[in-house]
Amino acid sequence: MKLRVIRYFIFGLFLLGSSSTLWAIKIEEAQRAVQERYQKALGTTVGWPAKINGTPAPAFPQDGFYGDDLLDGTKAAALVADLAGKLSSNPFLNQFVARDDGNVDGLSLSSIPVYSATNGMPPVTDIISSNYAERFSILTGYICKLKHIKKEATRVTVVVLDSGEDIYNDTCETAKAEAISQFGQYPYYPQSASTISFASGYVVYPPQGPGFCDVWLVTAVGYIQADLSSFPAGSRAAVYLGTGMHAMGLVGTPPTTADGKLHLYQTASCGGVYRSNDLATGTPEFGVSLETDGEFTSTEPFTWSGWYIDEQVAIVSPDFQNNIQNCGATEACTACTNCELGSGSLAAGSAKASFSLGHSEDGESAGNLFFDIEQPSASNATPAGLGTTGTGGKSQILQSSSGILRQVLAPETLADVVVVNDFKYNIDFYHRDQVSSTTNAAGVYTASGSPFTTWTIENPNVSTNNINTLRVTETIGSGSTVNEFVWSGADAGTVELSTGNGLRKESRGSIFDTNTEVRIETFIVKNSDDSMAYKEENVFHVFPWGEEQIQKVVDPDGAALTTIWSFYDNQATDGSNYKHLKEVVQPTGYWERYQYDGFGREIQRVTQYLDAPVGSAESAVE
């Protein structure tokens, strides 16, 4: 039996005669990344240690700022320890959602998982000159995970008083007690009250005359608001509502499933104050036994029920400009892989679509319009969930007074977002020579002629009760191509995408086992006649540092071509290998095993030779 062993000798920075090896850690890069996350999460700026010669550190130190200071093992360890101290602050960490995709659907506000210093963060006192490189590697891994910020959203209520009714033959105290008994959460309100709870209902006011009290039917017009102005305009936020059913609530279709859990309501662009549409405009259902004179007494029954918003939150995915090199940005890069004007790309998993704004003046991408929708909602067929990414000052973004995307003026095109009705909107793309040079009195650009491409996003069922289908149609000239997203399965966990007028159907759904922290994602491609063309199962496991793929099976019902990945997951014994890929086994049986240094660089690879079995020891090498 023979194995092939490849060793990589990496010549780093070292000091002869020292008891410890000194590594060229990228401390400034990590400081910049943490600084930006502090500013976005808490609105504060932290300070960094000065150089040995006393030169103060700027808020965002550039690469090489500490220079030869890193030749001093004690100083290097102190810098890493300082970084650990900043990073392990729970008021800071608790702002970040401890889910790689930031999805909090099905949770409550109090059960949203957040990061904390107890999640395996190396203690500051544990960082010394002999281990700071390895500890630094762990810290940068944590920085990479800080991608989604939990942002407070509020309910805003405007009160409208309708015509009143009088309670006769009762004292006000009796009427007050009866109102509290009948209405539960709706207590006795003073006449001067200007706001009430986020719903409609009856409230009792003090006496307006001898022997009776007034009861008024109150309609509360409410909406959700969140200040997203501190986040770059290229960032996106997912607004979740926790809607429940109550003895007194609002009639009509609730904005999200009324099961008392958080569900996605809208996605929103950052850079301003988000304001939802009005959510509570109706009156509660109720039945009242009226007297012959049209009045009712406090002893007569009041029965109604409806939906009510219990809690709300915005999960923001900032377009961070300062990242650890191997983390990657949270948004799509701006490389111009598909810059054809008005072209679109669609993908299943969630309902994802991206529409190109063409090239910028420097030849790179001018950005994209996009939506990324997790769950079916009546708002999906409105531009409330439409955002921009990668524009980065290359395009002018115009929004409505309620913060909804209205137009994007890019160097090569105008994307005009036009609402057709409550169940349909268009994105019309015009060439720049069709577009006015200035905005009109309404604050928007005008265009002449016909758009060269139109994308229509609609709910083909034209109903707020049937929202599981989202149709996306591309129209160029007289030709149209219809694509559809369809949600199905438990909790609408599977999304099927039909493209090319039904010629190809792909679906991607996943299930998550909270006991084993394993997620199984199934990807299926079908022909137009629904015959199976391709099937793939991918298995992911949640490790302390995040989610990793551990298995892929192509054709699981037939050939079952399986690839397996394993990771170093024991922090106590794996040393610098911890959290890195340990071994991969291909469907052919061929395997490779890896080891790493303190920077995560591969220093050894053991590969199969001939028929050596998985797990063969390096000592078996001839």
- Does one domain contain both 479 and 456? yes
**Can you say how many angstroms the Cα of residue 116 is from the centroid of all Cα atoms in its chain?**
19
pLDDT, position 280: 58
Residues 421 and 459 both lie in one domain: yes
pLDDT value, residue 217:
42
Q: Are residues 156 and 295 in the same domain?
A: yes
| 257 and 141 within one domain | no
- End position of a domain, from candidates 488, 507, 522: 488
Task: Give the pLDDT confidence score for residue 249 in this predicted structure.
Answer: 60
CA atoms of 485 and 497, how far apart (whole Å)? 5
pTM of the entire predicted model: 0.46
What was the pLDDT predicted at 252?
64
Together in a domain, 367 and 466: yes
Q: SS in 3 state form for 570-601?
A: CHHHHHHHCCCEEEEECCCCCEEEEEECCCCC
Please state, as a whole number, how many other Cβ atoms lie within 10 Å of the Cβ of residue 50: 12
Length of the chain: 622
176 in the same domain as 291: yes
| pLDDT under 70: residue ranges of the chain | 1-24, 118-120, 157-222, 234, 246-252, 280-306, 326-339, 348-349, 361-363, 391-393, 490-493, 619-622
Last residue of a domain, one of 488, 510, 532: 488
Any domain includes 593: no
Q: What is the spatial distance between Cα 289 and Cα 165, in angstroms, rounded to a whole number?
A: 13
Compute φ and ψ for 217, nearest 5 degrees: -85, 120
Residue 191 sits in the same domain as residue 296? yes
Q: Are residues 182 and 310 in the same domain?
A: yes
Q: Answer left, alpha or beta for residue 237, where phi above 0 means left and psi between -120 and 50 means alpha.
A: beta
Q: Quick one: 133 and 174 in the same domain?
A: no
What is residue 527's predicted lDDT score, i.e. its pLDDT?
86
Write out the H or E segment, with its range, that includes residue 148.
none
Q: Give the bridge partners for 399, in sequence order.
A: 405
- Please give the share of the chain, as a percent, with pLDDT higher than 90: 30
Q: How many domains does the chain have?
A: 3
| Region of 211 on the Ramachandran plot (φ > 0 left; ψ -120 to 50 alpha; else beta) | left
Where in the sequence is the domain holding 48, given as residue range(s)?
A: 24-102+109-146
Q: Which two tokens stand for residue 334?
A: 């701006």
pLDDT cut 70: percent of the chain above it = 74
Same domain, 255 and 228: yes
540 lies in some domain: no
Count CB atoms within 10 A of the CB of residue 252.
Answer: 13
Q: Residue 549: how many CB atoms within 10 A of its CB? A: 15
Q: Which two tokens stand for residue 180?
A: 């509290």
* Strand 387-389 to 396-399 pairing: unpaired
- 136/163 same-domain check: no
